């Protein structure tokens, strides 16, 4: 069952990433068509900006994401010995290098992992996680995050975060071009429907990118939960941790653009539809864990 879920999630991940890249190309083409009289110029602009953002994120993803979430690095195990040893143990069991360790000064219990690969990874936990969870529960959370590292989810999420930033930057360029008078093509172009569709794409592009990022996150959380149990051999630890995290207050330090990285939604917002959730429902995650 686990291997079937892994294969299914990998296929879904591939589809979402293809959709991301197509969206970047379409938005670039729309900007070129509406504002610069050339779809090719727009696609080239998207490629240049995309390459810049991607290389920047892959080179400095850990420092960027940790800075966005006000995380501080632990340089020595004596500062938080229990946390350090648990991460060290889970990394050893998961056969990945010891990640960098960060803490976030927030009373809400939560955690996330980031980085471009297992050799350049990091785990961050909130102060609330350390004070409210016992060792068994903390091991379950850390195993979940180490599983993200081992499964290369961190690279995938970093890439998705960079692509969302690219789409936002391209849309901002489109809006600025509109106000700077770069929309003259609309006055002369006979194909009004194509222009209208391009403008609609610019408006809805960021929403579509956010939805794709959320779908990507939901798919990977189930797999990380299952992989965590493979490391700890103890479903109850993660089950109890998720129950405590889901019933806690919202975080104050989390950055909205990186909320999908956390083990649970740091803002606790209940949307009118699960389409807009950054994470799968906690009850569903717990139900799956109880079957293992």
Alpha helices by DSSP H, listed for 36-115, are 39-68, 81-94
Q: Map tokens 């609330």 to a residue.
A: 128
Q: Map tokens 């798919």 to a residue.
A: 219
Distance CA 90, CA 37 (A): 55
If one counts every other C-beta atom within 10 angstroms of the C-beta of residue 254, the result is 23
Instruction: Read off the tokens for 286.
Output: 């717990």
Q: Is 145 a catalytic residue?
A: yes
Distance CA 150, CA 153 (A): 8
Strands 121-126 and 111-115, sheet pairing? antiparallel
Distance CA 210, CA 102 (A): 26
Phi, then psi, of 134 in degrees rounded to 5: -85, 180
Concatenated DSSP letters of 103-125: EE--SS--EEEEESSGGGEEEEE
Distance CA 209, CA 160 (A): 9
Q: Which of 145, 221, 230, 243 is catalytic?
A: 145
Q: Which residue, among 174, 183, 227, 179, has the nearest Cα to 204 in the 3D structure?
A: 174
Torsion-angle region of 281 (φ positive above 0: left; ψ -120 to 50: alpha; else: beta): beta
Sign of CA dihedral 127, 132, 138, 144: negative
> Which residues does the annotation mark as catalytic?
145
């Amino acid at each position: 069952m686990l291997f079937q879920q892994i294969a299914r999630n990998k296929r879904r991940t591939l589809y979402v990433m293809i959709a991301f890249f197509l969206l970047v190309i379409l938005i670039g083409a729309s900007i070129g068509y509406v504002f610069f009289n050339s779809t090719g110029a727009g696609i080239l602009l998207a490629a240049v900006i995309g390459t810049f953002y991607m290389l920047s994120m892959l080179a400095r993803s850990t420092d960027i994401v940790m800075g966005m979430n006000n995380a501080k690095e632990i340089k020595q195990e004596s500062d938080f010995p229990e946390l350090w040893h648990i991460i060290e143990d889970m990394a050893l069991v998961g056969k990945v290098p010891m990640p960098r360790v960060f803490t976030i000064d927030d009373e809400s219990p939560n955690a996330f992992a980031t980085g471009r690969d297992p050799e350049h990874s990091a785990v961050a936990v909130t102060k609330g996680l350390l004070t409210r969870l016992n060792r068994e529960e903390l091991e379950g959370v850390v195993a979940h995050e180490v599983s993200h590292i081992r499964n290369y989810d961190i690279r995938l999420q970093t890439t998705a975060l960079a692509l969302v930033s690219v789409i936002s930057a391209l849309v901002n360029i489109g809006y600025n071009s509109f106000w700077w008078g770069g929309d003259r093509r609309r006055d002369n172009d006979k194909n009004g429907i194509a222009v209208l569709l391009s403008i609609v794409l610019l408006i809805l592009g960021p929403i579509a990118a956010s939805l794709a990022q959320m779908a990507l996150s939901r798919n990977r959380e189930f797999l990380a939960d299952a992989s965590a149990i493979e490391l700890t051999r103890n479903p109850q630890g993660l089950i109890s941790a998720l129950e405590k995290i889901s019933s806690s207050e919202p975080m104050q330090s989390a950055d909205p653009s990186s909320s999908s990285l956390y083990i649970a939604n740091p803002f606790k917002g209940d949307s009118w539809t699960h389409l807009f959730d950054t994470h799968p429902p906690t009850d569903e995650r717990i139900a799956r864990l109880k079957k293992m």
